[in-house]
Amino acid sequence: MAPSIPPTEGDAFGPGGLPAPAPAVEVEGARIATVFQPIVSLADGHVIGYEALARPEVHGRPVAPDRWLEAAARAGWGNRADQACLSAVEATLARLAPWPAHLRLFVNLRWSTIADADALGTHWAALSRWVAPDHLVAEVAEHGTRDMPAWVGVRERYPHIVWAQDDLGVGEADLVRWVALRPAWVKVDRALVAGVVDDAMTRAVLRALVCAAHAEGAQVIAEGVETAEQVEALIALGFDAGQGYWFARPAFPPPELRRAGRP
């Protein structure tokens, strides 16, 4: 039986279900489509890439992706659920082809897929048919292991993959994972970005994170950007890029920007 999960919110196509033209993959009674949200350079407002976001639908009703994936993991088929999300991205890229050569594509991975070298290799090769490997970025959050040697092993096992650390600021092992994985991109969670305008301590923490990332050659993306004031504050702190409703909501096909990087 499908779990009871709240619907996702905020997609550009609204609450009435997934967009009809979007390719979809089915697994365990769920239909999974892919939407895209732009990642925008704060310096000049141009789109540097898109994040591909899974949108599951169960019995015709959109459900929250993270809750759906967690429910699948508890039911014992989390690996298949994550790989179905990747298959949905692959099907969508085939529909959109050719992918613009100057744009990066950020794709989410959960630990169950990262730990399965054969599965990850197969899906990464399929994605690389449409997006150049140096423009294909694997986003990882703290779903799974907190063990530092395990994350070091990931970097060594997959040296050809460009990594991004997702949701920095909300995980129990965020700094451990960051030091071990040494990602090329660091995405700061919306929970910290929300306080960037009004809270001096938040700004101090974010300034330190940006300096540490830049010292290692990584670029920093702010998630959940919703206001012009946040954009100005993030620029002052040295953030490289932003993602959020201020620019565009997730949609299929990839949406045009509503606003440039600088207000």
pLDDT given for residue 37 in this prediction: 96
pLDDT given for residue 120 in this prediction: 95
Cβ(42)–Cβ(262) below 8 Å: yes
Cross-strand pairs, 36 = 52, 251
Q: Does some domain include residue 19?
A: no
pLDDT given for residue 173 in this prediction: 63
Give the mean model confidence (pLDDT) for residues 210-234: 97
**Residue 259: band (very low, low, confident or very high) from pLDDT cuts 50, 70, 90:** low
64-112 residue pLDDT tens: 998 998 899 899 998 899 999 999 999 999 999 999 999 999 999 988 8
Q: Does some domain include residue 248?
A: no
In 10 A of CB 60, how many CB atoms?
9
pLDDT given for residue 263 in this prediction: 59
Give the closest residue to 18 by CA, choosing from 28, 6, 8: 8
Cβ(241)–Cβ(231) below 8 Å: no
Q: Does some domain include residue 262?
A: no
Domain count across the chain: 1
Q: Torsion over CA of 89, 14, 261 and 167, rounded to 10 degrees?
A: -60
As a whole number, the mean pLDDT across the chain is 87
11-57 residue pLDDT tens: 654 444 555 567 899 999 999 999 999 999 999 999 999 999 999 99
Burial 225-250 (b: 16+ CB within 10 A, else e): beeeebbebbbebebbbbbbbbbbbb
More confident residue, 170 or 120: 120
Give the mean model confidence (pLDDT) for residues 240-255: 94
- Three-state secondary-structure class, residue 161: coil
CA distance 257 to 3: 35
Residue that the structure tokens 């925008």 belong to: 40
Q: Does some domain include residue 261?
A: no
Q: Whole-model pTM?
A: 0.90
What CATH number is attached to the domain comprising 33?
3.20.20.450
126-153 residue pLDDT tens: 999 999 999 999 999 765 555 666 777 8
Q: Does some domain include residue 107?
A: yes
Q: Does the pLDDT of residue 7 top 50, yes or no?
A: no
144: left (phi over 0), alpha (psi -120 to 50) or beta: left
**Residue 262: band (very low, low, confident or very high) from pLDDT cuts 50, 70, 90:** low
Q: Does some domain include residue 17?
A: no
Q: Does some domain include residue 98?
A: yes
223: domain range? 24-243
Q: Does some domain include residue 111?
A: yes
